[in-house]
Amino acid sequence: STRVEIRKLDWLEIHSRPLTGSTKVDETDQFDYIFAADVIYEPLHVSWIYSTVTALLRLPVNGQPQPRFHLVLPIRSTHSLETTTFETKFDPHRPIDITSTDQKHGHRLVTKRNRTFWARDGFGAGGSEMRQYLVYEIGWECCVGCGTA
């Protein structure tokens, strides 16, 4: 049977741990899948999400399903900078910086797939306007010194 666990996640708290000297995330707090929707409202939120997912997403293990972070973002004309910042940060074609703190044991997070879809938003006075969404599937990529991607 599959165990599903839902927890409150404070992106800023996890992101701030290395800055405050707090202990790193315990291996028991690592997950195979992380899901988030409509969580980026400022460009700086992207770095919070990147460092949090880096800390909490389990690294790949041969013979097991690949860990993934799934993110849904509504397409908003007022949030194009945030979307561009996200896409740049998780771009698999960005240069590899082996000195970067954005890595975990020789791996970095990259967009594996993305797509768009239309759905009713269910919010506001109208309550059922059609809105376009971006769906990202983020996973690990081997940067240096690892055999699993």
CA dihedral (88, 44, 27, 3) positive or negative: negative
Q: What is the pTM of this model?
A: 0.84
Residue pLDDT, tens place only, 79-93: 999 999 999 999 999
Model pLDDT for residues 87-110, shown as the tens digit of each residue: 999 999 998 876 777 788 889 999
Residue recorded with tokens 């993305």: 114
**Residue-level pLDDT at 1:** 72
| Residue pointed to by tokens 């708290």 | 13
Task: Return d(Cα 20, Cα 5) in angstroms, integer.
Answer: 27
Between the CA of residue 23 and those of 13, 14, 56, 91, 125, what are the distances in Å? 12, 10, 13, 29, 45
Cα atoms in the 13 Å half-sphere on the side-chain side of 141: 19
Residue 63 has pLDDT above 90, yes or no: no
